[in-house]
Structure 1
Amino acid sequence: MTLSVNSLADIAVNIQVSLSRPDRFSRIISSIHHLLNCDATALLCYEAHQFRPVATAGLAPDVMGRRFQLEAHPRLEAIARAGDVVRFPAESDLPDPYDGLIPEHQELHVHACVGLPLFSGQRLIGALTLDGMNATQFDAYSDEELRVVAALVSGALNNALLLEQLERPGVGGFSRAAEEVKEIDSDEMIGSSPAMMQLKKEIGIVAATDLNVLITGETGVGKELVARALHQQSARSTQPLIYLNCAALPESVAESELFGHVKGAFTGAIHDRTGKFEMANNGTLFLDEIGELPLSLQAKLLRVLQYGDLQRVGEDRPLKVDVRILAATNQDLRQASAEGRFRTDLFHRLSVFPLHVPPLRERGDDIVLLAGYFCEKCRKKFGLRHLALSAAARAVLRKAEWPGNIRELEHSIYRATIIAQAEAGGAEVILLPSHFFPAQASASSAEPVAEVAFSSKSLREATDEFQRRYIRQALQASEGKWAACARKLEMDPGNLHRLAGRLGLK
């Protein structure tokens, strides 16, 4: 099968029509996915030495939250360096970044893989990856045909990035070239839920101004990431962003931390000290947990906000500073001011433009994206070849309440990975509900399990006996087929074979 002129013309038309739509990237990748009959297709944007998925087809939903650093993914690095079509042989020993991430074939490794680097002029802007379960899936397409596809998608991606930048409010506008569009780092705000899109829109609006911003939200929702985004998108981005946790400030040194002191101002002041306000001059000062700031200091902070001058402790000469204040709290400062615990005038000075960060439970599918993001970080940290979430695990994470929000989710992913890795005993790990919430997974099991009477056996022996009996039941229900049994138990087949061998079932 080859690509006809008509099919290429159709895809060119579809790409151009899609550019004007909010789901432009998804429409572009959908056209390619069906045209080339792929099992998995991904459009990746190249940013800061890593690939960020902007649209996928046939891949698990958490892939959109993953960030693929080149040094951690040799296949993607090869695509980035190639400058032309890259065909990986079926027997290639380079790990495929999508192994275990194709829902219909989670237990299988990808066999056919083609990478198309995407360029704007001589500059790499992204990649198109084509994957299939059949080793000869893309052999019928010539390199020349794939180059035409790559050229069409390159132009579309470059135009889409420019349109995306044009539509984004705030500093920069259309004058920023595509290569300058958003560098990704550990401060990236992952999420595309309506609540997060609204928050990002509001950040874009207020970032370009010099207004003070009060960031509110529960513990662990990512208020510091919002502060960093505000600073990075502002005209002050080349100046310092200084952080101060007001809750960690002993009242005895709080004034010195904020405004500095001169030598001899008090016992122990053996040299001049520069305060946070001076450090942030011409930049941004982020006051975290502002509700914990002592009342005595709130009046002095208010003066700096009103007049732009401050005095070091022990010095009479005032200093002029130009500082933008970003403050964050998990308290209701309006209520606190009504109760006299926080100055009302300072509250109004800080909350010129309030931003509320939604809790994780209100962010819907963002939970899955964030889980994918943390899975990729875990995979790299623990040196795993693959780390994937089962469909059941994604469903469980999606339904959880997450009172600790993003921080709790991150810790849960790390803990589950450690547990699953210990069970698997290898470098390919699939996370199951039992790795996150053992009690919940047991209660929701579809198969009734008889209670086990206490005996003199050790816990390990009793556990082995239970697993042995349960696997036998699942194997019988699967007509003796181990692959079907693994799917029923939501286990990686290799892990099941190893466990069955240890339990003497094989």
Structure 2
Amino acid sequence: MVDFTALQTTLLTDLSSELPAALRLQRLVVGVRDAFACSAVVLLRLDGDSLRPQAATGLVHEVLGRSFTMGKHPRLAQIMASREPVQFAADCELPDPYDGLLQDSPDAPLPVHDCLGMSLFLDGRLWGAVTLDALEPDHFDAQTLTSLRACALYIESVLRVCRLEHDLRSLRLSRPEGVAGESDAPSSILGSSAVLRQLLDELGVVADSELPVLLQGETGVGKELFARWLHRHSPRSDKPLVYVNCAALPETLAESELFGHVKGAFSGAGQDRPGRFETANGGTLFLDEIGELPLSIQAKLLRALQNGEIQRLGTDEPRHVDVRVIAATNRKLWEEVRA
């Protein structure tokens, strides 16, 4: 019997976190594998007449760099031609696309096993497919087929989230300020008190400089608004303003998110990806809740601040960036350092 409880918990947890698509999809396929108690799960995206793995578990890592032409892989072609789950029995004579790619026995032919797959759609258009493999013959039964139909809805929901996140990031980068919108108009900071005027005067003093700025204040006082004001009144105002919520970054993800990664740096890293420092090159990087960053990343952050030099995860090659950093926190970091 398929149990979706753990998978649902993972998906709900991930929805509340800002995750790279590669990591979100990798967590998804691991959850599907556990739910169906099978040996391998692969998520493939349609690219012309080929399918390219976007995430996989149970197969060798190199599968993420493969491309499976449907004309050469009839099993995948059958899955893509149907809107229903397609099962291949243990005695099916059609060649298996994953021969020699099994994680526990690389380069060896797959033993007799059970296979299952289903096409996936995004907004009514064919997106790709998910495949499940079990090394035990007859592992998948009629109930499994019904469960896969339900699971496909979960998978398509995650794909939709990934696309929306991609569209949002593209929209941010297409604007003069990476995360700015109509709320960034001068009227977004309202007030005429002496304290507010003094604060704006102090910000005006540092706006033209290249020095990093730390904004301190309780949650809800508008630190992000003042960070945007600083950027808008700086010489970098026509370049990106990129926002990072450090409190939402898991420790295992923070380095990749800030500095980027190269293909193969970790499971699910199917291609090179720039980090937020590179995205903000020439402009401003706003690190909200910087006090929540893990200690393990402080040395690399210091190197970026002092030398303008970063390294993508998975390579020793240095990259130079021209970024002004504005940070914000609701913690009294100076007192914590002294203590």
- TM-score, length-scaled by structure 2: 0.49
Q: Which has the higher contact order (CA 8 A, sep 6+)?
A: 2
Higher helix residue share: 1
Of the two, which has the highest radius of gyration?
A: 1
